[in-house]
Amino acid sequence: MSTIVQRVASGVAVLALAFATVAGTELPAGADTAQPATPISVLPQGGSAALTVDALNVQAAPARVSPDVAVKKKKKSSKGAKALAFAKRQLGDRYRYGGTGPSAWDCSGLTRGAWKHAGKKIPRTSQGQSRYGKKITKSQLKKGDLVFFYSGKSHVGIYAGKGKVIHASRPGKPVASIKMTYMPYAGARRPA
């Protein structure tokens, strides 16, 4: 009889291990799968009493969901946010007429470099950029949008939020973040 009890107990332990594997959980390190901790004779017999994992003295491990099954919503970074992040890393770089990086920029070189980093190729000059992408109003501005200044849209910066832009302004001035109100607004575009 004890051989039958051992085989049944081993079978239950194997089923528990198989169930744990299918469910994505593991048995605790101390769980003995060869011998039951509670003799079968003590377990509930017949009737409506159910055989439980606790009755076998097997502790259920906390459920773990594998990364490929987990449904996590990562906040997807927009192209505009990526362009802005690039522009922020250039703060303090020097201005150079015609500069396209990596350590010296002019206004449209900086905006083009930022959007290239975000995966979008835009025209080289501020005038070309002013005709590219979706035209937006000042009230629609989002981080990363291109903001144009002066007549002829001769200057461009990257919208940084809260009424500020990051731009490369002129010789002797490094790439900086300033309030948009310091320059005459001429329009805005969203490349992506």
Active-site residue, selected from the candidate residues 82, 112, 120, 155: 155
* 83 catalytic per annotation: no
Active-site residue, selected from the candidate residues 167, 169, 180, 190: 167
Nearest to 110 by CA among 175, 47, 46, 56: 175
* Torsions phi, psi for 128 (to 5 deg): -65, -40
CA 151 to chain centre: 39
* 155 catalytic per annotation: yes
Question: Running DSSP on this structure, what letter comes out for residue 124?
Answer: S
Integer CA distances (angstroms), 44 to 3, 51, 70, 82, in order: 20, 7, 37, 62
Active-site residue, selected from the candidate residues 58, 83, 87, 107: 107
* 122 catalytic per annotation: no
> Both tokens of residue 59?
């502790």
Please tell me the distance from the alpha carbon of residue 150 to that of residue 8, in angstroms, as a whole number.
Answer: 86
Contact 85, 96 (CB under 8 A): no
- Would you name the residues annotated as active-site residues? 107, 155, 167
